[in-house]
Amino acid sequence: MLNFIFISPQYPERNYQWVEALAKKGIRVLGIGDSPYHELNSRVRNALTEYYTVYDMTNMGKMIEAVSYYQNKYGKIDYIESNNEWWLQTDAVLREWFGVTSGFYPADMEHIKAKSAMKASFEKGGAKTIRYLVVRGPEDKEKAKDFVKKVGFPVFVKPDIGVGASDSYSLRNEADFDAFFERHLPEPYIMEEEMHGSIVSFDGICNEQGDVVFCCTDHFPIPIAELVHAGADHCYWNVPFALKMDDIQQKEFEKVGRQVVKAFGIRKRFFHIEFFVLNEDRPGLAKKGEFVALECNMRAPGGYTPDLIDFGSSVSVFDIYADVIAYNENRQDMSLPKYYAMASHRRNTFNYLHDDGEIYAKYGEHMKMTGDYPANIAVVMGNRYYMATFETLAEAKEFDAFVRAKR
């Protein structure tokens, strides 16, 4: 029996789906988390073989104690995973400590965590990359001036190693530029030429050999960083490759996506790889409508996007992931109907025209999931989500317009 240690199985809340899927395949799932056992979701409790509480999961000594306990009780540990950006480094340290060879070690982490170091793997996979400069403080200001002369304002800055859209923003002119370099930078930042367009992600799961066994796309008309700063409501949608996409060079995108997965050395993992689709020519880089690499994430997309993917492809990505862990292949029925799956979001700061009753009266047969995001996700995504599926993208966009119509 495989021993799979799941780091933080109780948070985010919907992690129980990964645990259940693994347990259904006969895998022994052992949890380590910072919540007391009695506070766990009942579905997590029922799917786990055992749970070990570490109240401070940043304390590596305590985490090592927890894994040692499991190893002494159940034998060789086969997997240590969190599927969570926050704990990827911890996963790697624990794997190396206990000789678990099914994932990345700390020495591998720079090329999958640092946005600057990702560039080489993207290029190896055949993707174009955004021009950039790594800055560490005032000593790099002159180099940054030369970079801006080359690419022009605005430029975009963000931590070279960071999660989501935290501390990411544009420098639109010399005043912004000077103010940025007056700051004390707590870590290296990456400065990139700013792209104008939308984000399309290549999402999926690959096997031990790095071959993609499931993939699809998520389309973000407004970059998440803009949403965080603007406080706007928004939408995004999932599209399986079996359906037509008007905003991306579809065949080339899938080809490059698969090559990039290989180039990064991803094995038996969910991945979320983001690309910019340009809405204007960028001399020296790409033309309008072409895509350039943004960043690679070695985990499932955030929030409730895995659920949206399920709705679009009529499958369970949680089961596909468990198949790969157990059998190194996708054993799900991929012939089921495919849909455009729309996620529309509302913020409590706006007064909307239609209430939930009206939405369900008009779109009830299309609705898949509705609810309120936890506070930490709501900051980025909005407070309330509505997920629905449609046979055409035009219908999906009409639904979104109805949900987000304001008084």
Rg (CA), the chain: 22
pLDDT digits (tens, 9 = 90+) for 270-281: 999 999 999 999
Q: Which domain holds residue 160?
A: 131-193
Structure tokens at 46: 């029922």
User: Same domain, yes or no, for 178 and 303?
Assistant: no
CA trace torsion 171, 110, 120, 320 (10° rounding): -100
- Angle ∠(283,289,294) on CA atoms, nearest 5: 75
Contacts of residue 401, Cβ cutoff 8 Å, sequence gap at least 6: none
Looking at the chain, the whole-number percentage of residues with pLDDT higher than 90 is 87
Q: What is the pLDDT of residue 231?
A: 81
pTM above 0.85, yes or no: yes
Residue 122 lies in a domain: no
pLDDT digits (tens, 9 = 90+) for 17-28: 999 999 999 999
- SS3 of residue 363 by DSSP: helix
User: Same domain, yes or no, for 140 and 176?
Assistant: yes
pLDDT digits (tens, 9 = 90+) for 138-151: 999 999 999 999 99
User: Same domain, yes or no, for 225 and 314?
Assistant: yes
DSSP lists the bridge partners of residue 31 as 6, 51
User: Same domain, yes or no, for 101 and 142?
Assistant: no
Q: What is the pLDDT of residue 230?
A: 76
Q: What is the pLDDT of residue 223?
A: 72
How many domains are there within the chain?
A: 3
Contacts of residue 59, Cβ cutoff 8 Å, sequence gap at least 6: none
Residue 301 lies in a domain: yes
pLDDT exceeds 80 at position 335? yes
The CATH number of the domain holding residue 280 is 3.30.470.20
Per the prediction, the chain carries an average pLDDT of 95
Most confident of 10-14, 92-96, 195-199: 92-96
User: Same domain, yes or no, for 49 and 182?
Assistant: no
Dmax over Cα atoms in the chain, in whole Å? 62
pLDDT band (50, 70, 90) for residue 285: confident
Q: Specify whether the CB–CB gap between 46 and 24 falls below 8 A.
A: no
Q: At what angle do helices 174-182 and 141-151 cross, to 10 degrees?
A: 150
Q: What is the pLDDT of residue 98?
A: 98
Residue 71 lies in a domain: yes
Q: What is the pLDDT of residue 379?
A: 86
Q: What is the pLDDT of residue 72?
A: 98
pLDDT exceeds 60 at position 261? yes
State which of 75, 91, 107 marks the end of a domain: 107
Residue 294 lies in a domain: yes
- SS3 of residue 88 by DSSP: helix
| Helix (H) / strand (E) containing 360 | helix 356-363
Contacts of residue 272, Cβ cutoff 8 Å, sequence gap at least 6: 201, 203, 296, 297, 299, 300, 301, 302
User: Same domain, yes or no, for 183 and 209?
Assistant: no
pLDDT band (50, 70, 90) for residue 227: confident
Residue 262 lies in a domain: yes
Closest CA to 323 of 27, 124, 12, 125: 27
Burial of 123 (0-12, 13-18, 19+ CB in 10 A): middle
User: Same domain, yes or no, for 249 and 368?
Assistant: yes
Q: What is the pLDDT of residue 168?
A: 82
User: Same domain, yes or no, for 169 and 204?
Assistant: no
Number of H helices, E strands in the chain: 15, 16
Q: Alpha-carbon distance 135 to 139, whole Å?
A: 8
Strands 235-240 and 270-278: unpaired
Q: Specify whether the CB–CB gap between 198 and 277 falls below 8 A.
A: yes
Closest CA to 295 of 132, 405, 174: 132
Structure tokens at 142: 């002159």
pLDDT exceeds 90 at position 166? no
pLDDT digits (tens, 9 = 90+) for 318-327: 999 999 999 9
Q: What is the pLDDT of residue 165?
A: 53
Amino acid at 233: D
pLDDT exceeds 90 at position 342? yes
Q: Is the peptide bond before 154 cis (omega within 30 degrees of 0)?
A: yes
- SS3 of residue 406 by DSSP: strand
pLDDT band (50, 70, 90) for residue 371: very high
Residue 165 DSSP one-character state: T
| Helix (H) / strand (E) containing 203 | strand 197-206
Q: What is the pLDDT of residue 163?
A: 59
